[in-house]
Structure 1
Amino acid sequence: MRRALRYAAIWCGATAVAVSVSWFGVRGVLRDEFVDDVDVEPFTAQTIAADEAPLTLTSPSPSPSPSRAQGKPVKGPTKSPAPRKPLKVVKVKGGEVAFTLGPEGCRLVSATPVSGYTAKVARATGWIRVDLVKGEHGTGVFCISHEQRTDTWEY
Structure 2
Amino acid sequence: MRRTLRYAAIWCGATVVAVSVSWFGVRGVLRNEFVDDVNVEPFLAQTIAADDNAPRVVPPPKPTQKPTPTPKPTSTPTPRRTTIKPTTSKTSAPTPRKPPKVITVKGGEVVFTLGPEGCRLVSATPVSGYTAKVARADGWIRVDLAKGGHGTGVFCISHEQRTDTWEY
Deviations 1:73-94 (A, max 9, x none): xxx7656545323311100000
> Matched residues in 2 for 1:142 and 1:60: separation?
21
Report the structure, 1 or 2, having the larger strand content. Answer: 1
Deviations 1:93-133 (A, max 9, x none): 00000001111211111000011110000011111100001
- The letter for the 2-side match of 1:86 is P
- The letter for the 2-side match of 1:130 is V
Report the structure, 1 or 2, having the larger helix content. Answer: 1
Q: How do residues 45-84 of structure 1 correspond to structure 2 at under 5 angstroms?
A: 45-50=45-50, 51=52, 52-59=54-61, 81-84=94-97
- The letter for the 2-side match of 1:43 is F
Q: TM-score, normalised by structure 2?
A: 0.56
Residue in 1 that maps onto 2:130: 117
The percent identity for this pair of structures is 75
Residue in 2 that maps onto 1:99: 112
> Matched residues in 2 for 1:83 and 1:59: separation?
19
CA RMSD of aligned residues (A): 2.8
> Matched residues in 1 for 2:62 and 2:115: separation?
18
Aligned residues: 111
Deviations 1:20-70 (A, max 9, x none): xxxxxxxxxxxxxx96x75432111111111223212352799xxxxxxxx
Residue 145 (structure 1) aligned with residue 147 (structure 2): no
Q: Any stretches of 5+ residues in structure 2 without a counterpart?
A: 1-34, 65-88
* CA drift at 1:154: 0.8
